[in-house]
Protein backbone atom coordinates (compact mmCIF):
# COMPACT_ATOMS: atom_id res chain seq x y z
CA UNK A 1 0.00 0.00 0.00
CA UNK A 2 2.76 2.41 0.85
CA UNK A 3 4.26 2.26 -2.64
CA UNK A 4 1.35 3.99 -4.37
CA UNK A 5 1.00 6.51 -1.56
CA UNK A 6 4.74 7.23 -1.86
CA UNK A 7 4.52 7.50 -5.65
CA UNK A 8 1.64 9.99 -5.38
CA UNK A 9 2.76 11.71 -2.17
CA UNK A 10 2.97 15.08 -3.97
CA UNK A 11 -0.62 14.68 -5.18
CA UNK A 12 -1.91 13.80 -1.70
CA UNK A 13 0.15 16.62 -0.12
CA UNK A 14 -1.26 19.08 -2.70
CA UNK A 15 -4.81 17.97 -1.88
CA UNK A 16 -4.11 18.57 1.81
CA UNK A 17 -2.36 21.92 1.35
CA UNK A 18 -5.00 23.26 -1.08
CA UNK A 19 -7.84 22.60 1.34
CA UNK A 20 -9.58 19.55 -0.13
CA UNK A 21 -12.21 18.62 2.47
CA UNK A 22 -13.35 15.11 3.38
CA UNK A 23 -10.10 13.82 1.85
CA UNK A 24 -9.95 10.04 1.81
CA UNK A 25 -7.02 8.11 0.39
CA UNK A 26 -7.54 4.35 0.10
CA UNK A 27 -5.98 1.57 -1.92
CA UNK A 28 -7.78 -1.33 -3.51
CA UNK A 29 -6.45 -3.84 -6.04
CA UNK A 30 -3.25 -1.83 -6.60
CA UNK A 31 -5.19 1.34 -7.39
CA UNK A 32 -5.06 4.45 -5.22
CA UNK A 33 -8.47 6.09 -4.67
CA UNK A 34 -8.45 9.79 -3.79
CA UNK A 35 -11.82 11.22 -2.78
CA UNK A 36 -12.82 14.62 -1.46
CA UNK A 37 -14.23 18.04 -2.22
CA UNK A 38 -12.12 20.84 -3.68
CA UNK A 39 -12.89 24.41 -2.58
CA UNK A 40 -12.54 25.74 -6.17
CA UNK A 41 -12.18 24.57 -9.74
CA UNK A 42 -8.62 25.90 -9.75
CA UNK A 43 -7.71 23.46 -6.96
CA UNK A 44 -9.17 20.53 -8.93
CA UNK A 45 -7.24 21.67 -12.00
CA UNK A 46 -4.04 21.83 -9.93
CA UNK A 47 -4.56 18.27 -8.68
CA UNK A 48 -4.94 16.99 -12.25
CA UNK A 49 -1.78 18.92 -13.26
CA UNK A 50 0.22 17.31 -10.42
CA UNK A 51 -1.20 13.89 -11.31
CA UNK A 52 -0.14 14.40 -14.95
CA UNK A 53 3.41 15.30 -13.83
CA UNK A 54 3.68 12.14 -11.72
CA UNK A 55 2.08 9.89 -14.34
CA UNK A 56 2.36 11.59 -17.77
CA UNK A 57 -0.83 11.23 -19.81
CA UNK A 58 -2.24 9.10 -16.95
CA UNK A 59 -0.81 5.96 -18.55
CA UNK A 60 -0.27 3.91 -15.37
CA UNK A 61 -3.96 3.95 -14.53
CA UNK A 62 -3.18 3.40 -10.85
CA UNK A 63 -5.14 6.36 -9.47
CA UNK A 64 -8.88 7.00 -9.36
CA UNK A 65 -9.42 10.62 -8.40
CA UNK A 66 -12.97 11.45 -7.32
CA UNK A 67 -12.56 15.04 -6.21
CA UNK A 68 -15.49 17.32 -7.01
CA UNK A 69 -15.79 21.05 -6.53
CA UNK A 70 -17.86 22.54 -3.71
CA UNK A 71 -21.32 23.71 -4.76
CA UNK A 72 -21.86 27.32 -5.71
CA UNK A 73 -18.68 27.92 -7.69
CA UNK A 74 -18.80 29.03 -11.31
CA UNK A 75 -20.66 30.91 -14.04
CA UNK A 76 -22.93 29.68 -16.85
CA UNK A 77 -21.89 28.44 -20.28
CA UNK A 78 -23.89 27.18 -23.26
CA UNK A 79 -23.11 23.88 -25.01
CA UNK A 80 -22.48 24.79 -28.68
CA UNK A 81 -21.92 21.40 -30.30
CA UNK A 82 -23.22 21.06 -33.87
CA UNK A 83 -25.98 18.57 -33.07
CA UNK A 84 -24.70 16.05 -30.55
CA UNK A 85 -24.30 15.90 -26.79
CA UNK A 86 -20.99 17.03 -25.29
CA UNK A 87 -18.93 14.39 -23.49
CA UNK A 88 -17.94 15.21 -19.93
CA UNK A 89 -14.75 13.42 -18.90
CA UNK A 90 -13.25 12.52 -15.54
CA UNK A 91 -10.01 14.34 -16.34
CA UNK A 92 -8.72 16.82 -18.93
CA UNK A 93 -7.98 14.50 -21.87
CA UNK A 94 -9.68 12.30 -24.45
CA UNK A 95 -8.03 9.28 -22.79
CA UNK A 96 -10.12 9.93 -19.67
CA UNK A 97 -13.41 8.04 -19.22
CA UNK A 98 -16.69 9.76 -20.05
CA UNK A 99 -18.60 10.43 -16.81
CA UNK A 100 -21.59 12.23 -18.30
CA UNK A 101 -22.98 14.20 -21.20
CA UNK A 102 -24.28 17.74 -21.60
CA UNK A 103 -27.13 18.10 -24.05
CA UNK A 104 -26.73 20.13 -27.24
CA UNK A 105 -27.66 23.80 -26.56
CA UNK A 106 -28.09 23.18 -22.80
CA UNK A 107 -26.61 25.46 -20.16
CA UNK A 108 -23.95 24.17 -17.78
CA UNK A 109 -21.98 25.71 -14.93
CA UNK A 110 -18.45 26.67 -15.93
CA UNK A 111 -16.32 26.04 -12.83
CA UNK A 112 -12.91 26.85 -14.29
CA UNK A 113 -11.04 27.26 -17.55
CA UNK A 114 -8.38 24.63 -17.00
CA UNK A 115 -6.48 25.43 -20.19
CA UNK A 116 -7.23 26.43 -23.80
CA UNK A 117 -8.65 22.99 -24.60
CA UNK A 118 -10.37 21.74 -21.44
CA UNK A 119 -12.80 23.43 -19.09
CA UNK A 120 -14.22 22.07 -15.85
CA UNK A 121 -18.04 22.09 -15.92
CA UNK A 122 -21.03 20.78 -13.97
CA UNK A 123 -24.48 19.97 -15.38
CA UNK A 124 -27.75 20.80 -13.63
CA UNK A 125 -27.97 17.06 -12.86
CA UNK A 126 -24.73 17.38 -10.88
CA UNK A 127 -22.40 15.61 -13.32
CA UNK A 128 -18.98 17.22 -13.00
CA UNK A 129 -15.96 16.87 -15.23
CA UNK A 130 -13.91 18.24 -18.06
CA UNK A 131 -15.30 19.13 -21.48
CA UNK A 132 -13.73 20.31 -24.71
CA UNK A 133 -13.68 24.12 -24.50
CA UNK A 134 -14.37 24.74 -28.20
CA UNK A 135 -17.96 23.52 -27.64
CA UNK A 136 -18.69 25.87 -24.74
CA UNK A 137 -19.66 29.55 -24.87
CA UNK A 138 -19.58 31.47 -21.58
CA UNK A 139 -22.75 33.50 -21.03
* Residue 75 pLDDT grade (very low, low, confident, very high; cuts 50, 70, 90): confident
pLDDT for residue 73 is more than 70: no
96-104 mean pLDDT = 94
2-69 to CATH, choices 3.30.1340, 1.20.120, 2.60.200, 3.30.420: 3.30.1340
Does the pLDDT value for residue 48 go beyond 70?
yes
Which CATH architecture best describes the domain 75-138? Roll (2.30)
Per residue, what are the HEC states of 10-53?
HHHHHHHHCCCEEEEEEEECCEEEEEEEECCHHHHHHHHHHHHH
Average pLDDT over residues 36-48: 92
Rounded CA-CA distance 66/123 in Å is: 16
Q: Which of 53, 54, 40, 68 is nearest to 3 (CA)?
A: 54
More reliable by pLDDT, 12 or 75: 12
Beta bridge partners of 86: 102
How far is CA 55 from each of CA 1, 8, 28, 59, rounded to the nearest angstrom? 18, 9, 18, 6
Q: pLDDT class for 74, splitting at 50, 70, 90?
A: confident
pLDDT at 1 over 70: no
What whole-number distance in Å separates Cα of residue 79 and Cα of residue 101? 10
Average pLDDT over residues 4-19: 94
Q: What percent of the chain has pLDDT over 90?
A: 73
Adjacent-strand bridge partners of 31: 28
What is the pLDDT averaged over residues 15-22?
94
Residues 6+ apart with CB under 8 A from 34: 8, 11, 12, 15, 23, 24, 25, 63, 64, 65, 66, 67
**What is the arithmetic mean of pLDDT over 92-101?**
93
Q: What is the mean pLDDT of the chain?
A: 91
What b/e string do you get for 64-92 counting C-beta neighbours within 10 Å, with b at 16 or more? ebebbbeeebbeebbbebeeeebbbbbbb
Q: Where are the domains of the chain?
A: 2-69, 75-138
Does position 114 have pLDDT exceeding 60, yes or no?
yes
Amino acid sequence: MEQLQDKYKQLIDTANSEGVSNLQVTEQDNVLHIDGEAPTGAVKDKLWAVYNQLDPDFKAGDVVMNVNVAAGAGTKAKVTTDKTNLNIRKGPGTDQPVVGKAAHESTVTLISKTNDQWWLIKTDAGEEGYAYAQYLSPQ
